[in-house]
Amino acid sequence: MWPIERGLARLYEEREVRGNDRLLRAIYHHLAPLHDPVVAVALPLCGSGRETELRRRAIARMALGELGPDPVRILEVGIGSGSNVGWIRDHLPAGVRFELWGVDLAEGMIRLCERRWSEPFLRLAMADAHALPFPDGFFDRVVHIGATNNYRDPERALAEMGRVARAGTPVVVVDERLDPGARNSLYHRAMFRLVTFYDWAPRAPASLVPRDAVEVRDEQIARFFYCLTFRMPAGGPSSVIRAAGPFEAT
């Protein structure tokens, strides 16, 4: 059903990649080697603290310590170079068997992740956040860090994340928003505009989460970043009988 090119499954329809998605895919593909060094340097300069602290706060919202019994499945939408893989692995209960599925539209970023991590639990593929190629309620945790604001249709992407999440599990979304409660100097405002050139009004899309979502929580976890979490209720679109065996791209 899906093409596999150079060992990487492409689980999306090219005709559906439009607007900002096409532009940002090209940027992240061609500039992939620069991504991690730039992030590591830019976050402290922007006044958002160290990268490790931001990721620690984001991963904490996933409540990974509550997972079990195994096996469990976790999805990272927009996995990029795999900066969160180690954090997710290390915050799981000891001995829990798990699969971490990572999808991204930028092949350059996925290839970086492949080189960075060679782990049997990691499954990588190219896919579109607006049409995730997985069954309803397939994952025990869903996380996305860093691209929601530039999606062409963030409401649809959030609906997809909620759809593939098991009922009751937290869906965690992190992206840029200038802290409205902080004293932001001209320097902070200028730096924020520099890193969010693709969006004139970066904000947490709390109003766009699925209508039946519960426990919707919008937090500011750093000067430049929000964390939006929600859960899908039992009986909703995500409440289905899960597949008995592992889902594999063929």
Across the beta sheet with 170-176, the strand order is 4-5, 8-11, 122-127, 98-104, 72-77, 141-145, 170-176, 225-231, 214-222
Pairwise CA distance, residues 57 & 34, whole Å: 24
In order of their start, the domains of the chain are 20-231 (3.40.50.150)
What's the CA gap between 42 and 29, in Å, rounded? 20
Contact 244, 194 (CB under 8 A): no
Instruction: Say which residues have a Cβ less than 8 Å from residue 145's Cβ, sequence separation at least 6.
Output: 55, 58, 76, 78, 84, 173, 174, 175
With beta carbons less than 8 A apart as the criterion, state whether 24 and 128 touch: no
Supply the pTM of this predicted model. 0.88
Say how far apart CA 129 and CA 147 lie, in whole Å.
Answer: 10
| pLDDT per residue of the chain (250 residues) written in tens, 0 to 9 | 888 998 899 999 999 999 889 988 998 899 888 877 877 776 776 655 566 888 899 999 999 999 988 899 999 999 999 999 999 999 999 999 999 999 999 999 999 999 999 999 999 999 999 999 999 999 999 999 988 888 999 999 999 999 999 999 999 999 999 898 888 888 888 888 777 776 777 889 999 999 999 999 999 998 889 999 999 998 755 433 333 334 343 3
Separation of alpha carbons 208 and 205, rounded Å: 5
- Two structure tokens written together for 184: 């932001």
Q: Which residues pair with 101 in a beta bridge?
A: 75, 123
Pairwise CA distance, residues 17 & 197, whole Å: 20
Q: Would residue 189 be called left, alpha or beta, if left means φ above 0 and alpha means ψ between -120 and 50 degrees?
A: alpha
Distance of CA 227 to the CA centre of its chain: 11
| Cα separation, 41 vs 51, whole angstroms | 9
Task: Classify the C-alpha dihedral 208-209-213-216 as positive or negative.
Answer: negative
